Amino acid sequence: MNLKLDFAVLLHDEYPKLLVEGVVNMLQLTGYAWLLAMILGTTLALIRMTQNRWAERAVAVYVEYHQNVPMLVQIFLWYFGVTTLLPDFAQLWVNQHHSEFLFAIIAVGMCMSAYISEDLRSGIRSIPRAQMEAARALGMSYLKASRLVILPQALRIALPTLVSHTVLLFKNTSLAMAIGVAELTYATREIESQSFHTVEVYLLATMIYLGISLLIMAVGSVLENRYRIKAR
């Protein structure tokens, strides 16, 4: 095997543009999907907390579905399947407006919201019920008590698993390449097939993924230290 690394190749032609676009798309996908996952996940966790039996079952089905089906299959189902169920004008709109990006956000966000709701639920469960009762007795509404008393503590307890699931979400945005979202993995393959400098471009992409994952983990551990609940 004769390997000569020539990273200067990656500066030729339109490669830098492809790479930068790939990284930007990847980060946007991660950001939007993360927001969706957090909002949905928190909502689901709060619904489960109400202890209404039917609501609880519905959330359980949602969570089990998203945890037991591969994310790639979920992406396919949204992109190839759900689009065909839309009314004609919506299909037309979706086809003209980079639907792959939109559906990747929905698929990744909804899948990860199942994991995040489970993280938050175990966080919420570790807080004594008496705190909710006390907050309600002080005249707070259910939502206000959740927002001001329960969630701030539950979030801190759930932080380590939330961070590792954020990393998982970030890594899984790479699956969006299967439906043609021009994120980093997609750009990497493009450049590889045009330039044949396989090692350089895959090494660079791997380093970018590695760097951002480690960055998320580092930010997570800083947050964990700052917001640790002091022992009483």
Partner 1 sequence: MTDILTILRDNWVLLLIGQYPNGPLGGLAITLILSVVGLALAFPVSLLLAIARVSPIAMLRVPATIVVYVVRSVPLIMFIFWVYFFAPLLIGRTVSGFTTMLVTLVIYQAAYLAEVIRAGIEGLPKGQIEASRALGMSYLQTTVKIVLPQALYNMLPAMVSQFVSTIKETSLGYVISVNELTFAANQVNSTLLTKPFPVFILLAMIYFALCFLLTRYARYLERHIASKRAGSLRTMPAKPAPAAAPV
- Looking at beta carbons only, is 111 or 135 nearer to partner 1? 111
Q: In sequence order, what DSSP letters do the residues of 34-82 get, joined into one string?
A: HHHHHHHHHHHHHHHHT--HHHHHHHHHHHHHHHHS-HHHHHHIIIIII
Smallest distance from partner 1 to CB 137, Å: 34
- Looking at beta carbons only, is 125 or 171 nearer to partner 1? 171
- Looking at beta carbons only, is 77 or 90 nearer to partner 1? 77
Among the listed residues 47, 158, 181, 170, the one whose alpha carbon sits nearest the alpha carbon of residue 108: 170
Smallest distance from partner 1 to CB 132, Å: 27
Smallest distance from partner 1 to CB 160, Å: 13
Smallest distance from partner 1 to CB 220, Å: 13
- Looking at beta carbons only, is 95 or 206 nearer to partner 1? 206
Please report which residue ranges of the chain form alpha helices under DSSP H: 15-49, 53-68, 71-76, 83-85, 88-96, 99-125, 129-137, 142-145, 151-172, 184-195, 198-226
CB 227 within 8 A of CB 152: no
Within 10 Å of residue 106's Cβ, how many Cβ atoms?
18
Smallest distance from partner 1 to CB 80, Å: 4
Contacting residues toward partner 1, per CB under 8 A: 1, 64-65, 67-74, 76-77, 80-82, 84-85, 167, 171-172, 174-175, 177-178, 185, 188-189, 198, 202, 205-206, 209-210, 213-214, 217
